[in-house]
Amino acid sequence: MIKIEQLSKSFGKLHVLKNIDLQLEGGECVSLIGPNGSGKTTLIKSILGMVIPSSGRILFEHKNIHGAWQYRQDIGYMPQIGEYPENMTIGQVVDMMKDIRRMPEAEMDMELYDKFELHRMLDKRMRTLSGGTRQKVSACLAFMFNPKTLILDEPTAGLDPLATEILKEKIIKEKHKNKLILITSHVLSDLDDLVTQITYMQDGQLIFHKTIEALKTDTDTDKLSKAIAQVMRTEGGLR
């Protein structure tokens, strides 16, 4: 579904991504992990076309995304920090997104919208919202248009346990619909039971991309968090 070939990006002298090669398919739930500043968000933003790569290319369903925009119709994106125009109300933001996506009401997926009870606060202005509520709005918008691919940047940061649970259930449900779900997260335990593959990045390099089973056998542990800690330790030790 998404194929990344030799992707590099530098901001001035800083090399944020170094020759990344990665292939992701539908029905997978991929967790993108790595220390702060390892280039996770830049990689995600490159897929979304928000960051223009210095070299290499990204194919979305076999088409180069460079200069294209229609492909984003098939992507739902939940940013790390929900940034919205401060003066708009939740209702206006939702209406604007519906306007942009032009999807018939019947095809829209309002499950999260209903479960997070957004309809009860449509008149609230974005600037008055707490971090958690912003995350809820972001999550609703990402899932609302039934995209084939979901890109979730730190989705559970700021959400309360109840909302996290709702979001998790939703992610699992979407995974079964053969969608590609790409998650970055630091909080590993939250996602233990829904991730199928792990991609580990460090200093702008892709260290490995493995299925969970392979990772657990390789590191000889049964818990994901332990396995990751093990990897981080050995990676750190190599340097």
Is residue 105 part of the contact set for another protein (CB under 8 A)? no
CB of 151 or CB of 215, closer to another protein? 151
Beta-sheet pairing, 197-202 with 14-24 = unpaired
Contact 196, 29 (CB under 8 A): yes
Is residue 85 part of the contact set for another protein (CB under 8 A)? yes
Is residue 34 part of the contact set for another protein (CB under 8 A)? no
Is residue 108 part of the contact set for another protein (CB under 8 A)? no
Window 45 to 74, contacts with another protein (CB under 8 A): 45, 48-52, 69-73
Contact 148, 179 (CB under 8 A): yes
Is residue 214 part of the contact set for another protein (CB under 8 A)? no
Contact 24, 34 (CB under 8 A): no
**Cα 106 off chain centre by:** 25
Is residue 77 part of the contact set for another protein (CB under 8 A)? yes
User: For every residue of 184-214, which 3-state class applies, written as one string?
Assistant: ECCCHHHHCCCCCEEEEEECCEEEEEEEHHH
CB of 59 or CB of 207, closer to another protein? 59
CB of 50 or CB of 214, closer to another protein? 50
Is residue 122 part of the contact set for another protein (CB under 8 A)? no
Is residue 143 part of the contact set for another protein (CB under 8 A)? no
Contact 36, 110 (CB under 8 A): no
Q: Supply 226's token pair.
A: 């332990």
Is residue 25 part of the contact set for another protein (CB under 8 A)? no
Residues engaged in binding another protein (CB under 8 A)? 11, 45, 48-52, 69-73, 77, 79, 83-88, 92, 96-97, 99-101
